[in-house]
Structure 1
Amino acid sequence: MKTRVIILLAMLLSAFVFLPDRIINGTVTDGANNPIADVSVSIQGGGAGTKTDHAGRFSIRVPNLARALVFKKIGYKSLTMPVASDSVLNVILTQNPLKPEVIADEYLRDAEQPGNVKKSLAFERVATAPATFSGNVMQMSVPSESYKPINENGFLSVGQQPVTTFSVDVDRAAYSNVRRFLNNGQMPPEDAVRIEEMINYFDYDYPQPAGEHPVAITAETTDSPWNAGLKLVHIGLQAKTVSTENLPASNLVFLIDVSGSMNDANKLPLLKQAFKLLVDQLRAEDKIALVAYAGSAGVVLPPTPGNEKKTIKDALDKLEAGGSTAGGEGIELAYDIAKKHFLPKGNNRVILATDGDFNVGISNESELQKLIEEKRKAGIFLSVMGFGMGNYKDSQVETLADKGNGNYAYIDNIQEARKEFVQEFGGTLFTIAKDVKIQIEFNPVHVQAYRLIGYENRALRTDEFSDDKKDAGDMGSGHTVTAIYEIVPRGITTSFIGKADPLKYQTNSEPAANSSDEMMTVKVRYKKPDSEKSVLFDMPVKATTVPFEKCSENLRFASSVAEFGLLLRNSEYKGSATYNDVIIRARGAFGKDEEGYRSEFVQLVKVALSLDGSHELSKK
């Protein structure tokens, strides 16, 4: 009997030994539920290993006799987790209080152990940045988010350059992206801070157009709160508001990225929620199609009337992420559908939703731009909605939206989706004036030098203002555009402007005496949505300064946002700006704030103060 038991146990053990390996999947996060990338995941005692992706996910083949998995990353405490019968293992790592040099030494010692990465002579000690295992060398990990470099506008002499020209910008993506960084406990990269988009994120109470033009201009001048002796000129544009029932019919094509990188909770799942909000706004005369792209592109839903909401939402629910990204192929298919169902007097638009990672297909940015520009000329516009974090390609998606005569937004939560697709439905999708440009001529009698705050990526040459072939920004129903200039009045001495060499063929001395009380003239050019010929109108601005506390809430709040942007960018022109001053000025200009966006702004400033304003906190 005992012999039989021994044989039976031997058979069971033999069967267990030869069981096939199994796959364990999981996610590694920190205590705040944020994913941790590039975590080394290995089998205790040696064997093949892997590492987590940008979303903290991992997948590892585990032998049946393996007892535990080991999780390691520089800056975090190593963790050994026993292997149970479950196929899913979610892990939380805590930060390591040791100095970076000590942590690096620990990794070097571990590298000598079997199954781990071996020490290399090419290894260099790291400071606080995370590391990635690559071959035999531990290298610095570089964030895969990308932003266009911003060379901040400086002061220009009116005597040498009296005219300034730029394209309007109604994009708001930079603000919600900055909010995402701050809410995650990080200061945003300086190039992610586009001040004009932060200012234009908010609505302002400008008067509606009353004349023949679909856009109205307002202007105010006050003293600069952060640079004594200088002044701020606040310019506001208001597009005509058209009620939803009077908007033209829409031919919309949702182009949805379902590649593997879109699997995170703040990407495809949030995208579905966001687009469902938009679907709720559609009417029977509107039509919508769904195109999904990953390794290849395909039609998920053919053009469907907007009142068939359940059909559209069911199609959205079926979308799943997986595969690589063929962005170019998807764009071509979406444009083909939009062209086949083109509405001559309607709103024809492709809405691209992506994390911006175009890595297969037409991945060359210039080729994508050419395609989108061609379709724009045919009356099909492109709007881009950015989602997610980690591999977010802000630089690329912003350019695509600009070339497509559409707006660009970054959706970081469902409240932002509601703002874009419910509260500002008309402005997001329906163009009132396209290729809107602003040109300002300053009077040297009153202005010595000027600086446009933000709009670095929107600058135009003087001659491009009257060139109808030059693309510019568009304004939708009810949209507002705000621009702020900081100016050096005549006779003021400041270190911000240097002495220019005398001009040989023109006078560079004092301006000719005249009795004009105009400080500048604001010119605006725009095209009607169905026209390629621009219309020009202008408005002179008097050299009248209003005390800051008596200015409109529009100016006071917009200037506080501008000041915040200067601090986030650590601008050389920030002067005496402080986070505390931003908070005080913003609180005094909340207005109605029915949706709470302005009060939320103050909370973000407080977060930035705690992260970056140690010198201010120490004063309290």
Structure 2
Amino acid sequence: MERYRTPRPGTPHRRTGHRTRRLRGALLALTAASGLLLTACSASESSGSKASDGSHRTGFPAPAPQNSAAAGEQQDGQDDQGDTSRDFAPSPDYLSTFALDVDTASYGYARRTLAAGQRPDPSTIRPEEFVNSFRQDYERPDGNGFTVTVDGARTDEKNWSLVRVGLATRPTDRTGERPPAALTFVIDISGSMSEPGRLDLAQKSLDTMTDRLRDDDSVALVTFSDKAETVLPMTRLGSHRGEIHDAIDSLEPTFSTNLGAGVETGYATAVEGRREHATNRVVLVSDALANDGDTDPDSILDRISSARREYGITLFGVGVGSDYGDALMERLADKGDGHTVYVSEADDARKVFCTQLPQNIDLTARDAKAQVAFDPETVAEFRLVGYDDRQVADDDFRNDHVDGGEVGPGHTVTALYAVRTKPGADGHLATATVRWLDPNTRDPHEKSGALETGALDDSLWEASPRFQVTAVAAYFADALRQGDERWATLPGDPGLGRLEDRAGQLAKKTEDKDVRQLAEAIDQAHRDLG
């Protein structure tokens, strides 16, 4: 696998195992790029970023589609004069395109595995999920859509920098009205769920969830082991909370894991109980250790495709258990237009069901994609850290029939790049553009942000605390997957010992419990793995 991309006109870049890229033979014309379930448990932080969203007259925005004006696409951030001062766009080799992803399960499962004194399988390490597990300092938009922040800092390795592309949506309005929610919980009650921290944790979480829902919300409950059963049809809470609690408390582990039957029955129940003008979602709680029936995620998703596409019912996966089918759950969520998280203890469960679930149930953006264009005058090569299963052909950035990611209110999405600048490079470095569809009207929107070489911090370890947390999380993920020879070490790698010290200092500076847990996980890895 080619690990870094060298911007060189006319040279195709191969992504083994990803979608085939369709290279353009000619340079393109360039134009400037342009509710809710639960009370959110935390407010957004103030921004310490350098770059802002909006239009930029220098550099390379994502190439504009032909006849975009005729197509009537809204290009947010375009200046009043419609700047077209550049009559060419970069070769596709200067572009990096990926679907947005807000999953965090990989990091949670790695922490659980390390706490048990074991090394995580490198195949379960997805760096973007480590990076996206932490709060960020991005500005938030006043309305719907995204802000785009692009910043960076130089590493200890000559000419190498880390560049952070940050996207943020507006947090939940705690006082605002929202449509009712219709949630179908699909609960794994197979024998493997009898281990402490699996079914018992799921039941406690569901009880908490039930108490927090409104009277006009609805809940359905589906269980599965060797077969699937609808335990509770779609039921409005109102005066039925006791009935719902009784159904949750009655769950007991039984036989094998027919996850395919559970998902299929869950979606059928969700469709049958679907409510107009409500938020309809399926929430799958499982260790994903499928050993019965259909265990192929693509086949399972094919069987529920009409429910996903016609009714827009998406999947939110909650993983549990020391043994966990990471690959299966991740594949189901990615291709099921949803997200995954992992919980191993009560604190994790409260975070998921108090903070993350509201963000993952309501939608701010559908089929969201990002494209970063690096300037060939200043950039010698670059590498996107993670998003290996989320990359999109560059030509499909504005193809709205190609799946992107679903993003909810209050989310931040971070992409980190290792970038080698040319010696003495000065000027524009990169422009990042996010494109998404309005979840109701399906109208496309875009927003861009840019970074100049002069805005790079001189030292990574003197950058803002949140930027440093991002870097520490990425370096940690990189260290854990070094058993897989496909991956190259990030430039400026400090090693686990120094990384542990950096994380400890950041935990004190930020007074953030999540950063403290990161420092503890790195300490565990350093002691056990060296």
User: How far is the alpha carbon of 1:516 from its aligned partner?
Assistant: 9.0
What code does the residue aligned with 1:328 have?
G
User: How far is the alpha carbon of 1:552 from its aligned partner?
Assistant: 2.0
> Match of 1:472?
404
Using a 3 Å threshold, how does the CA distance of structure 1 residues 516 and 530 change in structure 2: closer, same or farther? farther
> Match of 2:116?
184
Determine if the alignment matches structure 1 residue 243 to structure 2 residue 159.
no
8 Å contact kept, 1:247–1:430 = no
Q: How many residues align?
A: 438
Q: Deviations over 1:403-439 (max 9, x none)?
A: 2221101111111111110133421322211211000
User: How far is the alpha carbon of 1:594 from its aligned partner?
Assistant: 6.0
Determine if the alignment matches structure 1 residue 193 to structure 2 residue 109.
no
User: How far is the alpha carbon of 1:152 from its aligned partner?
Assistant: 8.1
The partner residue of 2:391 within 430, 445, 459 is 459
Which is worse superposed, 369-378 or 179-188? 369-378
Aligned-partner SS, 1:523: strand
Write the distance in 2 (CA, Å) between the matches of 1:371 and 1:554.
42
Q: Deviations over 1:96-155 (max 9, x none)?
A: xxxxxxxxxxxxxxxxxxxxxxxxxxxxxxxxxxxxxxxxxxxxxxxxxxxxxxx68433
The partner residue of 1:385 within 294, 318, 332 is 318
> Match of 1:572?
488
> Match of 2:66?
none
Using a 3 Å threshold, how does the CA distance of structure 1 residues 395 and 286 change in structure 2: closer, same or farther? same
Using a 3 Å threshold, how does the CA distance of structure 1 residues 568 and 364 change in structure 2: closer, same or farther? closer
8 Å contact kept, 1:372–1:404 = no
The partner residue of 1:260 within 175, 178, 191 is 191
Determine if the alignment matches structure 1 residue 428 to structure 2 residue 360.
yes
Determine if the alignment matches structure 1 residue 609 to structure 2 residue 521.
no
Q: Deviations over 1:383-402 (max 9, x none)?
A: 11111133x22111111111
What code does the residue aligned with 2:181 have?
S
> Match of 2:4?
154
Using a 3 Å threshold, how does the CA distance of structure 1 residues 594 and 348 change in structure 2: closer, same or farther? farther
Could you tell me which runs of 5 or more consecutive residues in structure 2 were left unpaired when the two chains were aligned. 12-92
Q: Deviations over 1:494-545 (max 9, x none)?
A: xxxxxxxxxxxxxxxxxxxxx9932111111111222444322322322221
> Match of 1:215?
146
Where do residues 197-346 of structure 1 align in structure 2 (5 Å cutoff)? 197-210=129-142, 213-225=144-156, 227-244=157-174, 245-307=176-238, 308-346=240-278
Q: Deviations over 1:285-315 (max 9, x none)?
A: 2111101112222121222234543322221
Q: Deviations over 1:419-469 (max 9, x none)?
A: 110133421322211211000111111111100111111111111211111
Using a 3 Å threshold, how does the CA distance of structure 1 residues 363 and 186 change in structure 2: closer, same or farther? closer
Determine if the alignment matches structure 1 residue 360 to structure 2 residue 210.
no
Determine if the alignment matches structure 1 residue 546 to structure 2 residue 452.
no
Higher strand share: 1
Structure 2-normalised TM-score? Answer: 0.78
> Match of 1:555?
467
What code does the residue aligned with 2:201 have?
L
Q: CA RMSD in A?
A: 2.2
Where do residues 96-107 of structure 1 align in structure 2 (5 Å cutoff)? none
Write the distance in 2 (CA, Å) between the matches of 1:588 and 1:365.
42
8 Å contact kept, 1:433–1:526 = yes
8 Å contact kept, 1:468–1:532 = no
Could you tell me which runs of 5 or more consecutive residues in structure 1 were left unpaired when the two chains were aligned. 1-150, 493-514, 614-620
The partner residue of 1:170 within 79, 96, 102 is 102
Structure 1-normalised TM-score? Answer: 0.67
What code does the residue aligned with 1:536 have?
E
Write the distance in 2 (CA, Å) between the matches of 1:360 and 1:532.
38
Write the distance in 2 (CA, Å) between the matches of 1:581 and 1:219.
26
Write the distance in 1 (CA, Å) between the matches of 2:2 and 2:125.
11
What code does the residue aligned with 1:217 have?
V
Aligned-partner SS, 2:251: coil
8 Å contact kept, 1:372–1:382 = no
8 Å contact kept, 2:188–2:225 = yes
Using a 3 Å threshold, how does the CA distance of structure 1 residues 591 and 208 change in structure 2: closer, same or farther? farther
Write the distance in 1 (CA, Å) between the matches of 2:498 and 2:347.
27
> Match of 1:445?
377
What code does the residue aligned with 1:324 have?
S
Write the distance in 1 (CA, Å) between the matches of 2:511 and 2:337.
30
> Match of 2:440?
530
User: How far is the alpha carbon of 1:593 from its aligned partner?
Assistant: 5.2
Using a 3 Å threshold, how does the CA distance of structure 1 residues 555 and 251 change in structure 2: closer, same or farther? same
What code does the residue aligned with 1:356 have?
A
What code does the residue aligned with 1:385 have?
V
Using a 3 Å threshold, how does the CA distance of structure 1 residues 260 and 562 change in structure 2: closer, same or farther? same
User: How far is the alpha carbon of 1:282 from its aligned partner?
Assistant: 1.1
Aligned-partner SS, 2:440: coil
User: How far is the alpha carbon of 1:332 from its aligned partner?
Assistant: 2.3
What code does the residue aligned with 2:164 have?
H
Using a 3 Å threshold, how does the CA distance of structure 1 residues 426 and 595 change in structure 2: closer, same or farther? farther
Q: Which has the higher contact order (CA 8 A, sep 6+)?
A: 2
Write the distance in 2 (CA, Å) between the matches of 1:204 and 1:574.
21
Using a 3 Å threshold, how does the CA distance of structure 1 residues 239 and 157 change in structure 2: closer, same or farther? same
Q: Deviations over 1:323-358 (max 9, x none)?
A: 222322222222122112323332111111111123
Determine if the alignment matches structure 1 residue 374 to structure 2 residue 374.
no
